[in-house]
Structure 1
Amino acid sequence: MSYNMPLDSPYVDEKKKQFNYKRRALQDRLGTFIAEHRKTVLAVFCALFVLFWFGSAQFSLFSRDPKIVLILAVNDGGGVHKWKGEQEWAIERISIQNKRAYAKRHGYGLTIKDLRTAKRYSHEYREGWQKVEILRQTMREFPNAEWFWWLDPETLIMEPQLSLEKHLFKRLDSLSYRILDDFNPLQLPLDIPYVDYSQEPELYITQDCGGFNLGSFFVKNSEWTKLLLDVWWDPVCYEQKHMLWEHREQDALEALYANEPWIREKTAFLPLRSINSFPSGACSEFSDDARYFYSEEDRDFVVNMAGCSFGRDCWGEMQHYGSIMESHAKRWWRRMY
């Protein structure tokens, strides 16, 4: 026995041998089980992999009954006027990955809706009006959700580390406004009779240089919202006005807000840059107005490349803001290299 060896070392060595033997025996049994049931183990592994990484958040093990659901509608049919090209498909994939990662990170629900060609949407206006019906479908799919967040496919969540609770819901009272006295691009009536502004808002939207913007908005799961969607989807709006209203469902909501007190009293507005910042090039006639445009210095939450298909480069804008988002996500020590 060595001079420095403790007196109980034989006992300790024996315990180590027993522990190592039990560990090897457990590993052998586990290896034997996997070998005998390798097909079952492989199937379970593949199923879990798909659920965690490719499944929508509504199937996630961490958000079976989400309180907030993101809605993203994409057009797998290839468009209305023309088939989508390679860049359009790439933009769609990036947008889906962006929303899926955000929902998974914060435990929100995510539903990805396909704007399939349907008989009642067979003309070129179907994609805008289908937004209302998708909202109704999603409310039936998630009856216990509290809020729904609609996002157009041309949007990117630029600050995915921020939860909606921290960024928005905890400061709605100070962030939102109800009366359009300071910012009213459509010159809508500032007030109409019988409006009770003491009611809690259940629809939060933004305004841009052209009026209401529905590229990113929040709506509460309530009976009021169901009634709003029924009126919004009224055949008078869809069948009679679709040739007159350039922005379709957006113009319909503006008309309802201007004339219906029960809709106005539960509608509130958020600053555009809080959930719906524009890239440079949008609202070109107001290029000097900082209220509209994304600020990298202020690290705006969402950028919406609205209207990029009309004379702008959608793919270039998506790449530009995607690179900004990735640079913000890097750790400080990685930015040094």
Structure 2
Amino acid sequence: MLRQSDRRARRRSPPRRWWWRWCGRRPWRFLAVFAAVLLLASYLVCAAVLRRANALGRRCSAGWNPAWPRLRIAMVSFSDERGGGGRSFLGMMDAVRSNKMKYSAARGYDFHDAGDIVDRRRPPSWSKILAIQRHLPDYDWVFWNDADSLVTNFSITLDSVLWTVIGDAEFDDLPDLILTEDFNGFNAGMFFVRRSRWSDGFLQTWWNQTDFIRFGSTKSGDNDALKYLIRELPAEERRRHVRVSPMQCLFNSYPWVFTWKSFYRLLRSPGSFWRGAYSDGDFMVHLAGLDNKREWVTKILNGT
């Protein structure tokens, strides 16, 4: 039986916090909570830094040089469900089409919706090759952009994007294929093709890579076929005809969304994310690999 003095002392002692009672006898609980808080804090910091990369000094474009000649460039894309984008993208095609048409009209480019030429014998993304082949003879360059992409900065021109990559090259030294590279390698979602004999042959060879065609999976095979062809090019031919943008964010930015895989990739290759993560002020955003594309389109078009 407790003495009266002991009871008074117990009443005076401060009560233990609930979290201390919960974690005190099981240290692993404390470690789990600490790890979760640390992970959440890391995500918030990473997301904030990457979204403000341009304000923090990242430079995607070289700007505009008045000496650069004007080029005849067409934007070509799919803007209906036949052109891909995934189930989560259905219902937003009109908004995407309107976004690209407004940009093209404002900057003096032609926009072509190539959804009418999708070859049903293959996954829809393969038909980007047919779309480029149809329109390339009428222009100096064709800029292919997947259906799940949006223009986010109307002040940037396609000419400035091209010349940022090309630099001061003479006409005979111009590349024929300009694309970006992410943590998975070359990306076939957004790229430029120049009208040339080499481009004609490369596009046809790409189309002929039927061994890469895949149905019923997240991969259709066209991107793998492109990476294979570029890797197999002789070094001199690749140097002469293929150019990779030093900064992915020049025309093919990806939103950074937290998943275990993306967080691991960020830790493994922070430079890739710094060069390619979508930031306010970027030219275009590409919603590659995202499940909630409709939500992203709505947020981006609403400026949030």
TM-score, normalisation: structure 1? 0.58
Q: In the TM superposition, what are the counterparts of 1:92-111 in structure 2 within 5 Å?
A: 92-111=93-112
- What amino acid sits opposite 1:207 in the alignment? E
| Count of residues in correspondence between the two structures | 219
Other-structure match for 2:212: 241
C-alpha distance after superposition, 1:134-175 (max 9, x if no partner): 211222xxx33101001111111111122222x323432459
| Residue number among 143, 148, 152 corresponding to 2:142 in the alignment | 148
Residue 159 of structure 1 pairs with residue 143 of structure 2: no
CA contact (8 A) 1:136 1:229 kept: yes
Residue 293 of structure 1 pairs with residue 277 of structure 2: yes
| Residue number among 175, 178, 198 corresponding to 1:204 in the alignment | 178
CA contact (8 A) 1:278 1:305 kept: yes
Other-structure match for 2:72: 67
| Residue number among 272, 287, 293 corresponding to 1:305 in the alignment | 287
Give the match's secondary structure for 2:276.
coil
CA contact (8 A) 1:74 1:115 kept: no
Change (3 A) 1:308 1:144: same
Other-structure match for 2:133: 136
Give the match's secondary structure for 1:324.
coil
How far did 1:252 drift?
1.1
TM-score, normalisation: structure 2? 0.64
How far did 1:200 drift?
2.5
Q: Residues of 1 paired with 2:105 and 2:89: CA distance?
A: 24
Q: In the TM superposition, what are the counterparts of 1:16-27 in structure 2 within 5 Å?
A: none
How far did 1:74 drift?
3.0
Residue 113 of structure 1 pairs with residue 114 of structure 2: yes
Identity %: 23
How far did 1:241 drift?
2.8
Compute the RMSD of aligned alpha carbons: 3.0
Q: Residues of 1 paired with 2:115 and 2:155: CA distance?
A: 27
Other-structure match for 1:279: 255
Change (3 A) 1:276 1:257: same
Instruction: Identify which range, 256-265 or 313-322, moves more after superposition.
Output: 256-265
Q: Residues of 2 paired with 1:269 and 1:201: CA distance?
A: 10
Q: Residues of 2 paired with 1:77 and 1:206: CA distance?
A: 25
CA contact (8 A) 2:78 2:113 kept: yes
How far did 1:118 drift?
4.2
C-alpha distance after superposition, 1:212-235 (max 9, x if no partner): 11221111011111011111111x
How far did 1:258 drift?
1.3
The structure with the largest alpha-carbon Rg is: 1
CA contact (8 A) 1:115 1:130 kept: no
Change (3 A) 1:318 1:250: same
How far did 1:96 drift?
0.4
Unaligned runs of 5+ in 2: 1-70
How far did 1:293 drift?
0.8
| Residue number among 187, 190, 197 corresponding to 1:213 in the alignment | 187
Other-structure match for 1:90: 91
CA contact (8 A) 2:212 2:222 kept: no
CA contact (8 A) 1:75 1:116 kept: no
How far did 1:133 drift?
1.5
Change (3 A) 1:221 1:174: closer
Instruction: Identify which range, 299-308 or 245-254, moves more after superposition.
Output: 245-254
Change (3 A) 1:136 1:144: closer
Bigger relative CO (Cα 8 Å, ≥ 6 apart): 2
Instruction: Identify which range, 88-97 or 216-225, moves more after superposition.
Output: 88-97
CA contact (8 A) 1:69 1:111 kept: yes
Other-structure match for 1:314: 293
Change (3 A) 1:152 1:170: same
Instruction: Identify which range, 224-233 or 315-324, moves more after superposition.
Output: 315-324
